[in-house]
Amino acid sequence: MQAPPIQRLVTELGKLPGIGSRTAQRLAFHILRQSDEEAFALSDAIREVKSRIGLCEVCFNLAEGPRCRICLDERRDTALICVVEEPQDVIPIERTHEFRGRYHVLGGALSPIDGVDPEDIKLAELYARVEEGGIREVVLATNPTTTGEATALHVAEELRRRTPDVTVTRLASGLPVGADLEYADEVTLGKALSGRRAL
């Protein structure tokens, strides 16, 4: 029904996560209503991010250049590494202003069912960083999903075997602040109970 260039734009926008066909169509028509300058600024931003952003050679976070800003920051604690699944997982941790160490981005989580084995993510690089020495603690901040938990257990076991002097910790999990107990599921409430601490 629509001109091929419009349909192509709708199809490409529909490939974005969380964008259905109707939203893709609305976005396409919004782009058509924009001035040339605004529309081309969007396409230039996409082109620039694809050409200039890569992975940090140390932690595999997103970086413009060989190292990311966090690895270049000399005020960060180099003896403390926080392990996350994806680059976007660094952002909420940084927002807390509680963590002053460095990161290691795995690029996924172990999932044999989906064909993701230890060689497919940045585990060897993590072990090499820790075995180099100078690391005091590794914080496992993988997602509290089945694959995230499996990855954390695998990494913890391997690090204890390779470097028993390094402390391996896991982010606490449980009830969110401001939540009512009656709305908590059994797994979340169970984690909160097992992870309770003295006041």
Q: Encode the chain (199 residues) as per-residue pLDDT tens digits.
A: 789 999 999 999 999 999 999 999 999 999 999 999 999 999 999 999 999 999 999 999 999 999 999 999 999 999 999 999 999 999 999 999 999 999 999 999 999 888 889 899 999 999 999 999 899 999 999 998 889 999 999 999 999 999 999 999 998 887 777 877 788 778 778 877 887 777 6
pLDDT at res. 2: 82
Answer yes or no: pTM beyond 0.75.
yes
Listed by start position, the domains of the chain span 75-170
Whether the Cβ atoms of residue 127 and residue 89 lie closer than 8 Å to each other: no
- The CATH code of the domain at 75-170 is 3.40.1360.10
Phi first, then psi, for residue 124 (nearest 5°) are -60, -40
Q: Which residues have C-beta within 8 Å of that of residue 16, sequence separation ≥ 6? A: 24
Exposure string of 117-128, with b = 16+ CB inside 10 Å and e = fewer, is ebeebbbebbbe
pLDDT at res. 163: 95
pLDDT at res. 183: 80
Distance CA 17, CA 7 (A): 18
